[in-house]
Amino acid sequence: MDEPLVEVALLCLGRAPGDLELLVRLEIVAAADEVDTALVVRGHAHSFAPSRTRVTLPPMATILLCGVDLFIRGKLEGALADHRLITTDGIERPDIVIADVARLDPADVADSYPDVPLLGFTNHTDTAGLRAAHAAGFDQVVAKSALFERTRELIDGLLASVE
């Protein structure tokens, strides 16, 4: 479709409308560790105004995934996008370890990370794996379905226990 451009007169003495000006101008820029809440709905759906509210984000945690397959890792990455997920030991100590106790020996994981909060998961039918992880000293042991339903709650609880 070829339509000619038509000039539209602005009613505010040649200036952009107030809402559009506020939307485009975004005066407040958030710092690297803050969420920018510059657009706040006021009154109706088309009215935006900058806000001076700052929301400080929690620090990024390093979470080591042990024995976790690609499918589960993808789901965890989506749920924990504000944290760094790694799959191999590095120089820095992880803040939390998440382990698939059906694929690894829970005692080996607990021995490798004695001072790190441990979250173990397995299938709900793997009662031996759940018991072995509890016996090894895991802080939390859940069924795989509970891991996906309560990911944020579990991780936040373990992070709070570290602080």
Predicted structure pTM score: 0.63
* Burial state string for 29-60 with b = 16 or more CB within 10 A and e = fewer than 16: eeeeeeeeebeeeeeeeeebebeeeeeeeeee
Q: For residue 17, name the pLDDT band (cuts at 50, 70, 90).
A: low
* Whether pLDDT at 138 is above 80: yes
Give the residue-averaged pLDDT of 151-160: 92
Domain residues of the chain, as ranges? Answer: 1-56, 62-162
Q: Read out DSSP for 101-161?
A: TTTS-HHHHHHH-TTS-EEEEE-TT-HHHHHHHHHHT-SEEEEHHHHHHSHHHHHHHHHHH
CATH number of 62-162: 3.40.50.2300
pLDDT at 16: 52
Is residue 162 within a helix (H) or strand (E), and if so which, with residue range?
helix 151-162
Q: For residue 1, name the pLDDT band (cuts at 50, 70, 90).
A: low
Give the residue-averaged pLDDT of 54-63: 70
pLDDT at 19: 53
Is residue 77 helix, strand or coil?
helix
Give the residue-averaged pLDDT of 128-143: 94
- How many angstroms separate the Cα of 25 from the Cα of each of 39, 82, 152? 11, 28, 35
